[in-house]
Structure 1
């Protein structure tokens, strides 16, 4: 029994829970890097191409299977050149850092700057950033497969077909459109999310072209070095998730504290305004008292000039 048949035999007899599925970005990279047929089939599915349209597909930033990824030179997004004509960036992301639009555009713009020195800008190669997200990007606008391009805001006229940003939300396969199902993009999403060998076999039973992918997932899960790096990635992701939750908690507490300080400051301003109002009223009363005192003094002076004392005035008032 040769190695391929032995792997297939072991895969067909595998049962239970997968150690690591393809939502683990290291496993995602290893499977696509080790299995060119899977890489080609996935690209055909997402871009809506026929198999014979893919003449050549190459990963530009390959890494040694099982290599540690804590070194900054390694990135887990996959840079692909298709038919020596188009650049494709594939990325798996499971944590929402609330910066995906900016991050994906940064990656896409870097890749779009591919004109060879001395060549005309019209020679720029088409670029695609394809993000597989295990979360909802826009809570008010969930979508399984979103395709973004530069278009006229008034009439939707396409500015260029060479600048493409695709987002596939793995948790929304139920929202797949007919064309997504026809291209089997939803099937790929389900395969990536599968957590048991039984699920994978059920998927490949109806999609035999994905057998190679399933076998590569099995082979990669059987490789200690790869499995160890997948574990490291999950530990890192768990730590990043914890840090994100702590940051969100601290941010919320800071926002609440800021709001409380603002409300206290507002109350203080209100009390200060009320104090100012009372002070103004006191000043007004004092001025009125002074005016009355001055008027009384003037009246007493007039009475005195007339020879009328206070007692006489009082007796006159009693008559």
Structure 2
């Protein structure tokens, strides 16, 4: 597989490089109304991106390139931001983990339900709460969030959908200025195949070994920070497999894109250790063994740190 470093591909217009989803304007309007409503009530609004992006190899897609992301970090972070008083727009990959329900991943729901007859012709469904730990507490939290209208979910599947919806979100939140936070936790592909170079039909294995030439995905962080939402508080994530280059790459991202923070983490230790890097500081967040045994999550510490930094950022703008 070869990747082209064509500069035009890296800086080209989204509308030229990627087909926009048909519902993008409808979603933009919904996000803008959501943001303005909650900002008027004094709330901060965070746009969380979550999950991986799918890159098709054929126009009539049978095969695609994907990554390991399940959306765990984004889904758990959404819960903690809600607990800190934020309203949340949750831009997530279709079928990735979702706030609150993520706690029951891997549990067969039907194994937790029984059907009981209370009288002839009438049956009720009973939940076995021993098989759904803390379900009452979790359901209470979810229903409180839902009744207050604090969570706006927006789905994407492909890389193209993600890029257009992120741009729409940035434009939608620009009207609330520094009250907007972008928490870009999605695992976004760095490479793609332009539609003009993609085969229409399924690639045939009978044609022999497959060679793929891919282009670099446009770096959408730069226009987001500079043009689309210039007053917002923006956090990106940097995942590496080599710890020796982690901080160097995080610093490089900050210097290149001029945003406020990078959450830097290494693949093997990402659930228990991150470094939050800003222009003037770096802070290590570590999950102790005792905390992990009590089901404390590193995302709780990340969100606490960043929500505090966001408040300071807003106060400096006043």
Quick check: TM above 0.5?
Answer: no
Write 1 or 2 for the structure with the bigger share of helix: 1
Write 1 or 2 for the structure with the bigger share of strand: 2
The higher radius of gyration belongs to: 1
TM-score (norm 2): 0.29
